[in-house]
């Protein structure tokens, strides 16, 4: 089959869950046996979200090939098990950079470079994945960030308009809008949807399918009304009601025929509805996992989305262990030696979160010490692992001034130090140790057991600093073992204290590779330890 293209835009307000709808549709098409990828186009000027503060844009997600991307790629991967890459996350900044670099090389032969056609052509080229022609994809789902009417998304809309025309039935446009419920009037209102569709039509794009986000059920009359005002078939007006879990969304979309509507619009025979057995089994497990296990997230970003993949990984691991992981954010800036006991009370285990910079790190160190000395299951991720290492140096090895050279460049005991290859880098953005690297596991370690005794694993990274090997033997002789090593560079990737119930720090980010059907082994092992604690 020739590759088909699906464009997903959003209207009325942001945060409607376009990423979840894109991921759900990807899952449904996959279940029909199609080869799918999902890509995100973001209208901001940053080259990638790597330089964005998590408060602005939530977590930065990292692909296997080391691209720092939007957190929606995390949804895509968790739902579909697709491995996304640098081609799946594009920003206005990257589009402009490509065009400007080309202009500097003289490739345009003296032409005036303009938004239309040069920027729009570059957007189209990437939407069509011209560089990845050998992928043999059946469907490319393209989600455009932002909301219809934003000045900055106009070139993307123009590119979609042109592609729609050029591709004919091989392209479909899905528009996601919001239907608010007005309590005082006890009514659902479709007017914002009508306006949003008009705006889209004004840009020359007629949506084929509308997905209406709503907190209340929309009856057929309401859907009919939207259909007739917006020039859309009534069976192409799908509603996306609030669900107890985002993982119910694919099934809800399937019941309403979202995937079937896409296929019909493209003239592809619809065929049988896939049974989605493994997904239903997962949902059953989720519904039955009601016993709670409380886990503390020690971090500095008091924002749900800042630790999105960690939250989802814990949630998924819990479901596979038949429990509901109740997560409690513990702001590390407010942790003191005096209040730590109270702050962690009721937590069966803690995750010490990743991060950058000084703010909140002393709280993480206090939490690590408390958890170690009270034998509370502890999982340190990236900066979290580094804080476990520093705490151990200060309180077990006796180096009171031990630190990471990120926090104190002059520290005489730099147990965490900048990686050699990072020392000459001055540019920010895309310059850390990024993406997947091999890690050799020490046989018999708790980490190796968690990974089912695999000898070599591969995990994704995003950091500049590392465990300082000069101290390795001291750590080992005092009980903290380096049980995961990158064979090529001899970097320490995992530390653990074997005599504790579960005290493991990972320099990599396991949360990026935990999916609905394949929860991550370290998270599962950690949650099991929390249950048994």
Q: Based on the residue annotation, tell me whether 511 is a catalytic residue of this protein.
A: yes
Pick the closer one to ligand GLN by CB: 77 or 406: 406
In the set 464, 472, 520, 524, which binds ligand GLN (CB under 6 A)?
464
Q: Shortest distance, CB of residue 333 to ligand GLN, whole angstroms?
A: 16
The reply on whether position 159 binds ligand GLN by CB under 6 A is no
Pick the closer one to ligand GLN by CB: 207 or 354: 354
Q: Based on the residue annotation, tell me whether 382 is a catalytic residue of this protein.
A: yes
Candidate segments 148-156, 193-201, 232-240, 460-468, binder of ligand GLN by CB under 6 A: 460-468
In the set 78, 124, 311, 463, which binds ligand GLN (CB under 6 A)?
463
Q: What span, in angstroms and rounded, lies between the C-alpha atoms of 501 and 499?
A: 7
**Residues 60, 230, 236, 382: which is the catalytic one?**
382
Q: Based on the residue annotation, tell me whether 518 is a catalytic residue of this protein.
A: no
Q: What span, in angstroms and rounded, lies between the C-alpha atoms of 218 and 241?
A: 9
Q: Which helix (H) or strand (E) element contains residue 312?
A: helix 308-320
Q: What span, in angstroms and rounded, lies between the C-alpha atoms of 457 and 483?
A: 12
Cβ neighbours of 331 (radius 10 Å)? 15
Binding mask 404-423 for ligand GLN (x = CB under 6 A): --x-----------------
Q: What span, in angstroms and rounded, lies between the C-alpha atoms of 87 and 94?
A: 11
Residues forming a β-bridge with 441: 484
The reply on whether position 75 binds ligand GLN by CB under 6 A is no
In the set 18, 460, 462, 472, which binds ligand GLN (CB under 6 A)?
462
CB 518 within 8 A of CB 320: no
Instruction: Kindly determine how many residues on this chain lie close enough to bind ligand GLN according to the rule CB under 6 A.
Output: 10
Q: What span, in angstroms and rounded, lies between the C-alpha atoms of 105 and 99?
A: 10
As to burial, measured by CB atoms within 10 angstroms (0-12 exposed, 13-18 middle, 19+ buried), residue 203 is: middle
In the set 465, 467, 503, 526, which binds ligand GLN (CB under 6 A)?
465
Q: Shortest distance, CB of residue 73 to ligand GLN, whole angstroms?
A: 17
The reply on whether position 382 binds ligand GLN by CB under 6 A is yes
For 33-165, where are the E strands, in sequence order? 36-42, 61-62, 68-69, 89-91, 139-144
For the stretch 434-456, what's the b/e string if a residue is b when 16 or more beta carbons lie within 10 angstroms of its beta carbon? bbbbebbbbeebbbbebbeeeee
Pick the closer one to ligand GLN by CB: 222 or 368: 368
In the set 323, 383, 436, 516, which binds ligand GLN (CB under 6 A)?
383
Distance of CA 391 to CAs 15, 157, 430, Å?
Answer: 39, 52, 29
Candidate segments 246-254, 274-282, 387-395, 462-470, binder of ligand GLN by CB under 6 A: 462-470
Q: Which residues are catalytic?
A: 382, 509, 511
- What does the binding site for ligand GLN look like in residue numbers (CB under 6 A)? 354-356, 382-383, 406, 462-465
């Amino acid at each position: 089959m020739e590759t088909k293209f699906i464009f997903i835009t959003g209207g009325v307000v942001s945060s409607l869950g376009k990423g979840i709808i894109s991921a759900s549709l990807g899952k449904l098409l996959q279940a029909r046996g199609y080869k799918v990828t999902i890509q995100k186009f973001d209208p901001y000027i940053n080259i990638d979200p790597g330089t964005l503060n998590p408060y602005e844009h939530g977590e930065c997600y990292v692909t296997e090939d080391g691209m720092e991307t939007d957190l929606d790629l995390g949804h895509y991967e968790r739902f579909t098990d697709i491995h996304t890459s640098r081609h799946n996350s594009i920003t206005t900044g990257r589009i402009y950079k490509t065009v400007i670099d080309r202009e500097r090389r003289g490739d345009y032969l003296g032409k005036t470079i303009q938004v239309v056609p040069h920027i729009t052509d570059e957007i189209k080229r990437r939407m069509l994945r011209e560089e990845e022609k050998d992928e043999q994809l059946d469907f490319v789902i393209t989600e455009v960030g932002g909301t219809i009417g934003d000045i900055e998304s106009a070139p993307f809309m123009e590119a979609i308009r042109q592609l729609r025309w050029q591709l004919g039935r091989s392209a479909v446009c899905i528009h996601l809008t919001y239907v608010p419920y007005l309590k005082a009037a006890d009514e659902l209102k479709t007017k914002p949807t009508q306006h949003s569709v008009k705006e889209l039509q004004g840009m020359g794009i007629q949506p084929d399918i509308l997905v209406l986000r709503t907190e209340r059920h929309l009856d057929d009359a309401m859907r009919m009304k939207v259909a007739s005002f917006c020039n859309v078939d009534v069976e192409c007006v799908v509603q996306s009601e609030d669900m107890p879990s985002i993982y119910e969304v694919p099934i809800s979309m399937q019941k309403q025929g979202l995937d079937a509507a896409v296929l019909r619009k493209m003239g592809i025979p619809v065929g049988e509805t896939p049974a989605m057995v493994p997904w239903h089994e997962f949902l059953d497990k989720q519904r039955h996992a009601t016993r709670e296990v409380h886990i503390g997230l020690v971090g500095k970003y008091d924002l749900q989305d800042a630790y999105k993949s960690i939250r989802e990984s814990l949630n998924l691991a819990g479901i596979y262990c038949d429990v509901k992981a109740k997560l409690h954010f513990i702001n590390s800036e407010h942790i003191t030696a005096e209040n730590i006991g109270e702050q962690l009370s009721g937590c069966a285990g803690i995750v010490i979160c990743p991060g950058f910079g000084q703010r909140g790190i002393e709280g993480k160190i206090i939490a690590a010490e408390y958890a170690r000395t009270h034998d509370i299951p502890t999982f340190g991720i990236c900066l979290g692992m580094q804080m476990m290492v520093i705490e151990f140096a200060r309180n077990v090895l006796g180096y009171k001034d031990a630190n990471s050279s990120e926090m104190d460049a002059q520290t005489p005991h730099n147990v965490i130090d900048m990686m050699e290859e990072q020392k000459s880098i001055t540019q920010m953005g895309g310059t850390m140790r990024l993406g997947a690297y091999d890690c050799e596991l020490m046989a018999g370690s708790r980490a190796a057991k968690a990974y089912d005794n695999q000898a070599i694993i591969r995990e994704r990274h995003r950091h500049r600093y590392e465990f300082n090997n000069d101290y390795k033997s001291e750590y080992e002789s005092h009980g903290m073992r380096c049980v995961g090593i990158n064979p090529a560079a001899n970097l320490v990737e995992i530390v653990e204290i074997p005599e504790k119930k579960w005290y493991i720090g990972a320099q990599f980010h396991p949360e990026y590779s935990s999916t609905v059907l394949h929860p991550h082994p370290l998270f599962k092992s950690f949650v099991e330890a929390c249950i048994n604690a």
